[in-house]
């Protein structure tokens, strides 16, 4: 794992999963709450991936330009940001339009009959 991401697993966990994972979760919530389109998730995830690479370079003395590390970072952050986006969008749809929609699982909603 160290060769793929460019740092120790503990540094990766602390920087990418905890620190930037929190930022990705909050970004997903903000995008969903302000009714932004889904394609913006990819733009913000790419930027968070660059921030992750920089923090690994600055704090964990890892390589800055490691494409495998960047792709893994973006993949992990995309999962987190997508989950937060969908969770917030489902909650918003059910709260704002209770006469039209009801919850269908944690990430979905369906038309009320």
pLDDT digits (tens, 9 = 90+) for 59-106: 999 999 999 999 999 999 999 999 999 999 999 999 999 999 999 999
Burial of 2 (0-12, 13-18, 19+ CB in 10 A): exposed
What rounded mean pLDDT belongs to the chain? 95
Is the pLDDT score of 18 beyond 90?
yes
> Strand pairing partners for 101?
111
- pLDDT at position 26 is 98
Question: From the DSSP assignment, how many helices (H) and strands (E) are in the chain?
Answer: 5, 2
Cβ contact 58:25 at 8 Å: no
Q: Mind listing the pLDDT tens digit for each residue in 40-70?
A: 999 999 999 999 999 999 999 999 999 999 9
- pLDDT at position 4 is 87
């Amino acid at each position: 794992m160290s060769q793929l991401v460019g740092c120790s697993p503990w540094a990766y966990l602390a920087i990418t999963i905890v620190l930037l994972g929190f930022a990705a979760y909050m970004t997903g919530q903000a995008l969903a709450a302000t009714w932004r389109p889904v394609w913006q998730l990819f733009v913000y995830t790419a930027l968070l991936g660059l921030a992750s690479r920089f923090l690994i370079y600055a704090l964990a003395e890892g390589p800055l330009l490691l494409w495998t590390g960047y792709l893994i970072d973006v993949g992990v952050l995309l999962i987190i940001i997508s989950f937060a986006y969908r969770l917030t969008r489902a909650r918003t749809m059910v709260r704002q339009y209770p006469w039209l929609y009801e919850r269908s699982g944690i990430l979905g909603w369906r038309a009320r009959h």
